[in-house]
Amino acid sequence: GYSAFRPWPNTTLKWKLNNQIPTFGREKTRIHLQEAFDDWARYAPLKFREAVGDEQAEFSISFNEGNHDDGFPFDGAGGTLAHAFFPKDGKVHFDSAEEWTDKYDGFGYNFRLVASHEIGHALGLAHSYDQTALMYPFYQLMQPKDLLPKDDRDGIRALY
């Protein structure tokens, strides 16, 4: 839809994965990241793809540990899981000390869900007071088939 101000003006946005963690290999990480971007792309005029070669990417994604030179050090297992910055920064960082998982069984933190939440921030969404929302600021397991909740759909449509 029409919006006077798209936080990211371009329709096609690229992402780049800078590193990976041994417990959660590169290929799986890439697949889950693309899924997390597509969670949003389904409900707004946005397309996401992985940057190829040394192509410029709007979103720079990495796993980091402890102090990593952006003023927001990670804190080991628990506490902060990940962070992202509002447009047009594009950095999305995951705490490599967390127990990341791609299962939905309640053990560890589901990478796809946390990535979708962080991408929401990187696209310009703040937290929601709606307890069913992905942008609600408390970790809760949801099934990928239920993504995105209505509040988040409304949010992304309002921005783009």
Q: Is residue 66 a contact point for Ca ion (CB under 5 A)?
A: no
DSSP state of 94: E
Which region among 29-37, 51-59, 64-72, 100-108 touches Zn ion (by CB under 5 A)? 64-72
User: From the DSSP assignment, how many helices (H) and strands (E) are in the chain?
Assistant: 3, 7
For 3-145, strand residue ranges (E) read 12-17, 47-50, 59-64, 82-84, 91-95, 100-101, 109-110
Q: Is residue 75 a contact point for Zn ion (CB under 5 A)?
A: no
What CA–CA distance (Å, rounded) separates 112 from 38?
11
What is the sign of the dihedral through the CA atoms of 86, 87, 88 and 92? positive
Number of residues lying near Zn ion (CB under 5 A): 2
Of these, 16, 93, 121, 153, which contacts ligand TQI (CB under 6 A)? Answer: 121
Site for ligand TQI in 122-141 (CB under 6 A): 137-139
Nearest distance in Å: CB 136, Zn ion: 9
**Of 74, 54, 77, the residue nearest 64 (C-alpha):** 74
Site for ligand TQI in 53-92 (CB under 6 A): 80-84
Of these, 14, 93, 112, 153, which contacts Zn ion (CB under 5 A)? Answer: 93
Helix (H) / strand (E) containing 120: helix 111-123
Question: Within 10 A of 79 (CB to CB), how many other CB atoms are there?
Answer: 10
When the beta carbons of 47 and 103 are compared against ligand TQI, the nearer one is 103
Nearest distance in Å: CB 134, Zn ion: 9
Q: Is residue 75 a contact point for Ca ion (CB under 5 A)?
A: yes
- Residues forming contacts to ligand TQI in the complex (CB under 6 A) are 80-84, 114, 117-118, 121, 137-139
